[in-house]
Structure 1
Amino acid sequence: MRKKKRGMAIAASSVLAMSLLSFSTSVHTSASSQTVSKNYLIAYSQSLPKDYQTEINNAGGVVVKAIPEIGGLEVRSTNPNFLNQLKSSATIAAANVEKSFKLEDGQPEGADGKPVTLPDSDTYWNLQWDMQRLTNDGKSYKLESGGTETSNGVIHKAVVGIIDSGIDQTHPDLKANFIGGQNFVPPGGYGDEAPVNPTNVTDTNGHGTHVAGSIAANGKVKGVGPDLGIRAYRIFDASGSAPTTPIVAAILQAANDGVDVINMSIGGFDNLKYYYEGTRYSDIADILLWKRAIKYAVNKNVTVVAAAGNDSLDYADKKSLTDYMNVTYGKDLGIIFKGVTVEVPGSTPGVITVSSSNKWSTAKLAFYSNYGNSFIDVAAPGGDNGPVYDASRKLAERDFTYRTLSTWPTNLEPNSATTVNRDYAYLHGTSMASPKVAGIAGVIKAAHPEFTPSQVQALIEKTAFDYGKKGHDPLFGSGEANAYTALTGK
């Protein structure tokens, strides 16, 4: 296999995907002054030293969360010179302001008053063009579904951890395969100091439930492995925001829980040199903790899959990434980006990075998908708005049925931008492509529990359909992944 890459992006467009949005800060106002409290990430050179609490306190900080498995800390401080105070420490490898990630609005442009109405039917299989293609019209289910159905429930042969906005565990298409998880979000969202209820993984956004259906739905819609176990790791609050710390903590927790695969339909930019109010900063601590968390999971035999992002960017063009950062985020944040821009988690060693293919072309990716040499490993169906829209880019010419149909939370209002039905929705994005590959990895592990993450990835790449230019290319990587060919080995 190829040596794993160095960077890329994820962010906006009309898809639920995660983007780097802002510093993680909070403002506390008193009668006489305004105090700005910032959250920071600290990456120690190795393990946490015994005196780390004292060191942080002396610099004017308070430890919010320790992550001893990867030598990391989340720290809050009102001291504007906090980072400078730490420079004398011989044990700290890097420190930076913690980033906050945000799920973008799923369909900000609306549906022009023409959402899709699903028929009253016991099955929507005929509407799942993506799943039909991935499974060779369902033939892969006969080879491996991810588990065994019994009169007492499903015996799951492999489990996929979904780090996202939670899962509707009561959804009729998901409840048989839901086996728990953990919540990292405080009851009032990030910034609320109330105790976290670790069992509350209820999806308040919809994104995680849609992703879960692509992996393991077994009802009106089907996932890649309709008998795979799924565990929810809820890291986004109701506003769709999450700092880095709970995300890397969720990776570690999923690995410790013994999942076979992790799906992250998320990602964001980090920059190695930027200026804020005249002071130079970098995101090296952020990148280090991402790398350590992924390595921790892979060392526990977990296959990690992530979305490539929805910015239509070529990762091989490094200058364009930093220019994009300045145009998209720099002005609003008051930041000037000067250094190399990388993407996490997709560019992190050990991750299978997935671009988004569509229904109608084997030569073109979906219009929003990121791409790039040494970045994309494989593609998978994430859907788009159809060939007419692709040619014209007129919103009135979108056809939502070219997107991918999956589960939607029963506790939320219907996604009226794409469907008037309550429990299902059409969405598109690399967020919808990544779980297809995670599902394939899951059924591979169910069939071959002895496989290592590198063996799982090698099989997925070897058996992918060679779309785009012959051989490995910047758009599709090794090709469009397929569950049936992966299970048959050809």
Structure 2
Amino acid sequence: MRLKIFSSIIAATLACSMNMGADLTVAKTATNTAPVAKKYLIAFKSNLPPNYSTVISNAGGRVVRALPEIGSVEVESSKDAFLINLKSVSNVQAANLEIKHQLDYKKNDPAAADNQPVTDFPQPEAIESYWNYQWDIKNVTEDGESYKINKGNGAVVGVIDTGIDPNHPDLKGNLLGGQNFVPKGGFGDDPTETGDTKDFKDRDGHGTHVAGSIAANGKIQGVGPDLGIRSYRVFPANAGAATSWIADAIIQAADDGVDVINMSIGGFDALSRYSYQNSGSYSDIADMLVWKRAIQYAVKKNVTVVAAAGNESLNLNNPTTITDYMNREYGYLGLQFKGASIEVPGQLPGVMTVSSSNKWSTEKIAFYSNYGSRSIDVAAPGGDNGPVYDATLDESLRDFHYRTLSTWPTYLEPYFTANLHSYALLHGTSMASPKVAGIAGVIKAAHPDYSPDQVTAAIRQTAKDYGKAGNDHLYGAGEANIFNALTQK
């Protein structure tokens, strides 16, 4: 499963493999019509100045979201010269156009599965447990042996995603609530979004699937069936998000006292310079600064942050390759990136980055997964299309049995890979990351005094050493395993 989200300047991707196509939308001004307002992300040098709203107004903008904890604001402006006007403000460190982060994926179309969805899994009414179909959770729990030691009671994982089905029978017992960060109207294209902060109901499915891998306790079992989960919805239905919305969710999750944050989100950001049309360039990028500041805010509050590595099959150790990729993908928007780039949030300090392993090999990770020996902490099962597809890349030979089974909103149509309702088969680093987040949560339940660094070290030191001996470019330290983390000293 893959949902692509495009971050302020760059792509931030809900890292699940649905479709490799990109759909980046920019508002255009029609001839003889009023200018269309655009969204911008602004990072001040330190704290927000007392007169920040006036500063933005004088430059021709209006603040629509303030993040005082990290010295940043989201701004709306219809002035073409807005970014240029800001250059005269000495305490603005960086500013950039905020582009729509489009959810981009194959819809629930049976033809997308080559008319071969999985039909040999029983419907939930006909089965007591899907445990025998959960090869991924079996892998990381040693066939459930970890449950006999610790199921995660007392620890909480925040899921920053598309929301969670609050009435799913496998999730509602562990769901502690949540919050919505999507403003009224979304990006102006979703009239069903009212801006209700309590509306964290999943309109897409991705977040519910992720949550099930962490803490489902029913027909599906998560890594920690007794873990608490909190939902932080940052995506509308079939529409986009903004980096400022995600950062706001990170800050709130940290303030709520979660022990772990899972972000099945991955994308790319330039480390230093970029230019946009005729607005000149900044030596820093607001998008990058906001990511860094939000994550450090969480880490300082003792939160372990886990993120997906992304699904572009890129070597994350090669920053210029990432920059070339960004220029190929987004150059048509008038953006040009120079120098080194990284995957965000995964390669930022304080984040544990997860690649995707599969069911059938301990030598090869999933075909879509990003990799890199200095970039990947550990791998976890995210599934793929099976060994035949891996060898041929022939889409007609995909076998969806090799994907990962988890919860799906009870009110949505079945996802195209199977005829199941309330459960779905998906793959991607989005499905790998929550296994590690669940492991981190169970470790925190067993060791409440552990810092994020200690949690990360425990996971890395007890991972199964797949691939080349020692730390390698595919698996990092290996495939994460909660039973080992609870039993190995």
TM-score by length of 1: 0.91
- Relative distance call for 1:10 and 1:430 in structure 2 (3 A) is farther
Give the whole-Å Cα distance in 2 for the aligned partners of 1:438 and 1:18. 25
**Of the candidates 172, 176, 181, which is equivalent to residue 175 of structure 1?**
172
- Relative distance call for 1:418 and 1:471 in structure 2 (3 A) is same
1:469 Cα offset (Å): 1.2
Task: Choose 101-110 or 433-442, whichever is displaced more.
Answer: 101-110
**Of the candidates 158, 163, 168, which is equivalent to residue 161 of structure 1?**
158
1:197 Cα offset (Å): 0.5
Unaligned runs of 5+ in 2: 1-9
Q: Which amino acid aligns with 1:146?
A: G
SS in 1 for 2:160: strand
- Relative distance call for 1:37 and 1:163 in structure 2 (3 A) is same
The aligned counterpart of 2:146 is 140
1:32 Cα offset (Å): 4.2
1:106 Cα offset (Å): 5.0
Task: Choose 470-479 or 279-288, whichever is displaced more.
Answer: 279-288
Q: Which amino acid aligns with 1:178?
A: L
In the TM superposition, what whole-angstrom CA distance separates every residue of 1:443-478 from its partner, at most 9, and x where no partner exists? Answer: 001111111111000000000011111111111111
Give the whole-Å Cα distance in 2 for the aligned partners of 1:105 and 1:27. 23
1:14 Cα offset (Å): 7.0
In the TM superposition, what whole-angstrom CA distance separates every residue of 1:323-357 from its partner, at most 9, and x where no partner exists? Answer: 212222323x2433333222211111100000000
Q: Which amino acid aligns with 2:399?
A: D
The aligned counterpart of 1:38 is 38
SS in 1 for 2:460: helix
In the TM superposition, what whole-angstrom CA distance separates every residue of 1:201-258 from its partner, at most 9, and x where no partner exists? Answer: 1111000000000000111111000111110000001114101111000000000111
Give the whole-Å Cα distance in 2 for the aligned partners of 1:19 and 1:483. 35
1:279 Cα offset (Å): 4.4
Q: Which amino acid aligns with 1:112?
A: D
The aligned counterpart of 2:4 is none
Q: Which amino acid aligns with 2:71?
A: G
The aligned counterpart of 2:3 is none
The number of residues matched between the two structures is 470
1:70 Cα offset (Å): 0.5
Give the whole-Å Cα distance in 1 for the aligned partners of 2:22 and 2:68. 25
Matched, 1:113 2:125: no
The aligned counterpart of 1:5 is none
- Relative distance call for 1:52 and 1:178 in structure 2 (3 A) is same
The aligned counterpart of 1:225 is 224
- Relative distance call for 1:181 and 1:18 in structure 2 (3 A) is farther
| Residues 19, 267 of structure 1: 8 Å contact kept | no
Give the whole-Å Cα distance in 1 for the aligned partners of 2:227 and 2:214. 8
SS in 2 for 1:189: coil
Give the whole-Å Cα distance in 1 for the aligned partners of 2:85 and 2:22. 26
SS in 1 for 2:36: strand
The aligned counterpart of 1:477 is 476
Give the whole-Å Cα distance in 2 for the aligned partners of 1:314 and 1:280. 30
Once the two structures are superposed, the pairs formed by residues 48-67 of structure 1 within 5 Å of their partners are 48-67=48-67
Give the whole-Å Cα distance in 1 for the aligned partners of 2:77 and 2:421. 44
The aligned counterpart of 2:387 is 387
| Residues 47, 71 of structure 1: 8 Å contact kept | yes
The aligned counterpart of 2:196 is 197
The aligned counterpart of 1:324 is 325
Give the whole-Å Cα distance in 2 for the aligned partners of 1:321 and 1:485. 35
The aligned counterpart of 1:265 is 264
- Relative distance call for 1:47 and 1:243 in structure 2 (3 A) is same
In the TM superposition, what whole-angstrom CA distance separates every residue of 1:344-384 from its partner, at most 9, and x where no partner exists? Answer: 11111100000000011111110000011321111000000
The aligned counterpart of 2:5 is none
Give the whole-Å Cα distance in 2 for the aligned partners of 1:206 and 1:249. 22
- Relative distance call for 1:14 and 1:144 in structure 2 (3 A) is closer
| Residues 164, 233 of structure 1: 8 Å contact kept | yes
The aligned counterpart of 1:356 is 356
Give the whole-Å Cα distance in 1 for the aligned partners of 2:299 and 2:36. 38
Give the whole-Å Cα distance in 2 for the aligned partners of 1:143 and 1:420. 35
Give the whole-Å Cα distance in 1 for the aligned partners of 2:246 and 2:413. 27
Q: Percent identity?
A: 59
| Residues 163, 250 of structure 1: 8 Å contact kept | yes
Give the whole-Å Cα distance in 1 for the aligned partners of 2:466 and 2:208. 29
1:297 Cα offset (Å): 0.4
SS in 1 for 2:113: coil
| Residues 19, 103 of structure 1: 8 Å contact kept | no
| Residues 419, 425 of structure 1: 8 Å contact kept | yes
Give the whole-Å Cα distance in 1 for the aligned partners of 2:11 and 2:438. 22
